[in-house]
Structure 1
């Protein structure tokens, strides 16, 4: 009986020792997990290089965005188009874009004489000739005087006051459908124009208008 009691006491002591060891191991593992992990120098360098690359890329993108801002320009579309006049464009556009802004080609347009792929420049005159009409040799492939800033007034083919119809008369600067109709009405009522100065007899055409249109007119 005493031997059994002694065995139980020894066994109980061993169990407590084992429990103590297990708790100690758990505590040590917990402390190790809470310690900060050492940072790998190679990883830090890779992250720094990546951040620098991203920063440089953002800077390049910013510069690209700045240089890609479009510039507003104006060109004067004349000739055989449906809606001639001043059109707002940008430096990325070409002659065909200006024609489309002018309503497209008129039925009598001869687009084969024009370089539709030419890039537009500010203050350019884009002239679309009619079939059978020869563009002046001094005009460039876009049907406009070469070089930005040229007005092209002296290069525009002349319009005959005695033979032009309403569409042809609208090729004149500042002459719309109503003014063109007034010229036709005057011609039908008074016969052919004897001189360019006689245009002042038509309502809406004064001295200043006549001087501006004179290089474009013929009788």
Structure 2
């Protein structure tokens, strides 16, 4: 009788142990299944957000690069001469025009003839911008044309100056003519009543045959 009772108690204990293990297993499996479900759902969203952020960053960088390329300008130098308040070499940008160079040179003088100059022309490096005065005749191609260096290009782009009417400032626009030579031309003109021909310039001290040949395309009577 005692033996039977002992067997029944062991059987009951084992049953409860099995039931307990089963419940523990079910709880563990349920926890693992339901606990991991949000993590699995969140991963695609995170990946999607990462892709969108990457795409937005690429678009922004591309836009910035395009803006940077379109806004880049090149630094150049032009020589502004004639009827401006502050003639000389000016530092400009490749996006500027003749009117911008004139403004950098202090603007027009009261004697400037703006009608002979294409103020809307874009500037180029080493360009000579010449502003004539009223009554001074220059070739249309001379006002603001670019020179590339060398004697031939400088002469073809240089303004024509009337040595019988030009003042000291205008005379100094001639190639190689500074303040002293300009004064000599004025003195000869006053003493002899003007130049009868271009060749008379050889009678002025400092102007020889070679100098005259170089200046002939630039001067008129």
Aligned to 1:179: 181
Q: Structure 2: where are the runs of 5+ without partners?
A: 1-34
Q: What secondary structure, in the 3-state scheme, does the structure 1 residue paired with 2:52 have?
A: helix
- Does the Cα contact within 8 Å between 1:84 and 1:171 map onto a contact in 2? no
Pick from 41, 54, 59 the counterpart of residue 57 of structure 2: 54
In 2: Cα distance, 1:208 partner to 1:64 partner: 53
Aligned to 1:159: 161
Q: What secondary structure, in the 3-state scheme, does the structure 2 residue paired with 1:87 have?
A: strand
Aligned to 2:47: 44
Confirm or deny that 1:88 pairs with 2:88: no
In 1: Cα distance, 2:68 partner to 2:216 partner: 47
Pick from 111, 126, 130 the counterpart of residue 127 of structure 1: 130
Shift of 1:45: 0.9
Q: Structure 1: where are the runs of 5+ without partners?
A: 1-34
What are the residue-to-residue correspondences of 1:194-209 with 2, within 5 Å?
Answer: 194-200=196-202, 202=204, 205=207, 208-209=210-211
Pick from 112, 117, 124 the counterpart of residue 114 of structure 1: 117
Q: Which has a greater percent of helix?
A: 2
Displaced runs of 4 or more, over 6 A: none
- Cα deviations across residues 91-110 of structure 1 (Å, max 9, x unaligned)? 11111111123332122112
In 2: Cα distance, 1:82 partner to 1:175 partner: 20
Larger Rg: 2
TM-score normalised by structure 1 residue count: 0.62
Confirm or deny that 1:104 pairs with 2:96: no
Q: What secondary structure, in the 3-state scheme, does the structure 1 residue paired with 2:212 have?
A: helix
Pick from 212, 217, 221 the counterpart of residue 215 of structure 1: 217
Shift of 1:186: 4.1
TM-score normalised by structure 2 residue count: 0.61
